[in-house]
Amino acid sequence: MLPAINRRDSIDMRVVVQGPRPNRAWTLLVFTGMGRRQLAKRIASIPDVEITRKPRFLSWLLEDDFLEFRYRGVPYVAGVEPFAKNHFEIRCQPPGCKPETSQLKAELEQSEK
């Protein structure tokens, strides 16, 4: 019998902070080979996250911003940049530097393991 393969463990993910300093982040860039729904499931698995809008059917065709969620009360949006297909962008709404963004980065890296 073959061992079960956990697809979540087999996907490589790298999270990069965009902002003036590492502890003051504007956005997170998530470089990964996973799809929109897999990223939504990984974000939903983080404690203190409340999903307010999930990716819809054909979201890759119709939506640039495909996921809305709250992390510790701060609203965030996940989407794709128009000319980048290999990464997702997670930003808070309204835009600005929030300490929760750096904490979200740490949680995303922990959920990877």
The mean per-residue pLDDT over the stretch 88-96 comes to 85
Average pLDDT over residues 66-80: 91
**Within 13 Å and on the Cβ side, how many CA atoms surround 101?**
30
The β-bridge relationship of strands 13-18 and 27-32 is antiparallel
CB atoms within 10 A of CB 92: 21
Domain boundaries, the chain: 14-92
pLDDT value for 93: 85
Question: By CB neighbour count within 10 A (0-12 exposed, 13-18 middle, 19+ buried), where does 49 fall?
Answer: middle
pLDDT in tens, 22-53: 667 778 888 877 788 888 898 999 999 999 98
pLDDT computed for residue 52 by the predictor: 93
Mean pLDDT of 45-73: 83
Summarize pLDDT for 5-16 with one digit per residue, the tens: 344 444 566 677
Q: In angstroms, what is the C-alpha Rg of the chain?
A: 14
